[in-house]
A and B are shown apart, each in its own frame.
Chain A
Amino acid sequence: MIKLKIVLEHSYYPNYFAIEDIIATQEKAPCKFLVNIPKLGKLNAASEEDDLKAGTSLELPVWLVQQLASGRQPLVTIDLPKSYKPAYREILKADATAVDLHKFGLYFYELGCHIAQFDNQGDVREILVHTFTTRFKQLMDLADNIGLDPSAIDKLDMLERKLFKDGNLARNLLNNWLNNSIIPMGAATMVVNHRKRKRINVE
């Protein structure tokens, strides 16, 4: 069952119900308004006017700017969030393995796929692939040999963490199997968690 779960979860496509996609798109991106938006002045904390004026620059969640920038009459122009701007891309190009990607963004790749749509030059797309492929070997080593440097996990983004967890699990399963081919039956995960919590509550 564990194996199947991994197959299905990794055959993931962003979809309407995807928690990671919803969380990633709450990140903010800078944008500039092209037209007046009557009555919504309160979105701009720096102004007390009723209307949101054309020319105002604001940082708004990606899910919103995506909607506003699309269609035949875009209401805003979008700028890249800072982790995807040239200065940060240079850092990644220089040595992606040394970067604390977690600080670049919790969902660096997931959000990056959305951001890439705003970047006509394709530089964002390129840096996503570059970053992932350069860091992948390190990730594999980490998954194979945990115990070397636990702090390394803190520097992974959420996608990398998931891969790390699965890779590590697969490694442990293989080790167990090589050492002893009996797989003990266990209580269901939820049952175990439920017990634990009950015990804590009693204490």
Chain B
Amino acid sequence: MDDISSEDILLEEDESEMMHLTPAQLVDRMQETWINEIRAPEILPYKYEYVECLLEHINSMEENIETLQTASLVKVVHQLEIDRFRYIIASYLRTRLEKIELHVFHILKEEDTRIEKNELPYLSDGELQFAQEYKNSIEQHFQSVLSFWPGMPPDDWKNNPVVPNLDSFVFLKSKENVEGVIIDDSDENDIVDLKEGSQVILSYSKIADLLKNDKVSLL
């Protein structure tokens, strides 16, 4: 795709640290982010910069192929490339939306805790707004269902919401050498070292932090 947009795409990460990525690197990152999201039982931090940059890249590609002749092979190849990128982004965002809906009460609570602790949120602004409106719509529906209730209906259902099972097993690949991953909390000798490039299957809860810190990726 270099002939279309040969300039590097500027990525803002952590706002202070600027990073240059070629379009090919950007696509790789986005693809990894997307697969991690599909494989992880819980929602992961939203990768704003990849999504925005790739969408922008798609736009500039689309503008460029407008100028090409209808029947040219180059145009066909570029169009297919654009479709692939759009598919990855759409699938990534759909996956997140499904998790947000399924675990909405849990996710919003976690998000509140993060704000209290001054941590970065996991949801994008749009997702957060969607989550809140989705939650309200369910609560309103329940209210109308329970309108016959004498007095205030109890809200036991809030105590046992749908939550992800963090003990699910996942396949993962180590991106660098990681030492001392604890496998069994009750036995501190039960640890494993991950060599760069090694592939293992482990309980998600044991590697969630490694995943969020970009030390491993899911398969």
Residue B24, interface by CB 8 Å: no
Residue B89, interface by CB 8 Å: no
Residue A15, interface by CB 8 Å: yes
* A12 and B163 alpha carbons, distance in the complex (Å): 8
Given contacts A4-B98, A16-B156, contact A11 B38 (CB under 8 A): no
| Shortest Cβ gap from B181 to chain A (Å) | 20
| Shortest Cβ gap from B170 to chain A (Å) | 9
User: Which residue on A lies nearest to B159, using beta carbons?
Assistant: A16
Give how many B residues have a beta carbon under 8 Å from the other chain's beta carbons.
20
Tell me if A's interface is mostly helix, strand, loop or mixed.
loop
For B165, what are the chain A residues with a Cβ–Cβ distance below 8 Å? 10-13
Interface size grouping (class) on chain A: 10 to 19
For A3, what are the chain B residues with a Cβ–Cβ distance below 8 Å? 38
Given contacts A4-B95, A4-B98, contact A16 B38 (CB under 8 A): no
Interface string of A1-33 (1 = CB under 8 A from B): 101100110111101111000000000000000
**Do A15 and B161 have beta carbons less than 8 Å apart?**
yes
* A1 and B93 alpha carbons, distance in the complex (Å): 12
**Do A13 and B163 have beta carbons less than 8 Å apart?**
yes
For A13, what are the chain B residues with a Cβ–Cβ distance below 8 Å? 162-165
* A8 and B101 alpha carbons, distance in the complex (Å): 12
For B41, what are the chain A residues with a Cβ–Cβ distance below 8 Å? 7-8, 11
User: Which residue on A lies nearest to B165, using beta carbons?
Assistant: A11
For B157, what are the chain A residues with a Cβ–Cβ distance below 8 Å? 16-17
User: Which residue on A lies nearest to B161, using beta carbons?
Assistant: A15
For A11, what are the chain B residues with a Cβ–Cβ distance below 8 Å? 41-42, 164-166, 168
For B159, what are the chain A residues with a Cβ–Cβ distance below 8 Å? 16
For B86, what are the chain A residues with a Cβ–Cβ distance below 8 Å? none
Query: Which 9 pairs of residues, A with B, have the shortest CB-CB distance?
Result: A11-B41, A11-B165, A16-B160, A16-B157, A11-B168, A15-B162, A11-B164, A13-B165, A15-B160
A12-B165, A17-B157 provided; 20 other pairs, C-beta below 8 A? A3-B38, A4-B38, A4-B98, A7-B38, A7-B41, A7-B168, A8-B41, A8-B99, A8-B164, A10-B168, A11-B42, A11-B164, A11-B165, A13-B162, A13-B163, A15-B162, A15-B163, A16-B156, A16-B160, A18-B162
Interface residue ranges, B against A (CB under 8 Å)? 38-39, 41-42, 94-95, 98-99, 102, 156-157, 159-166, 168
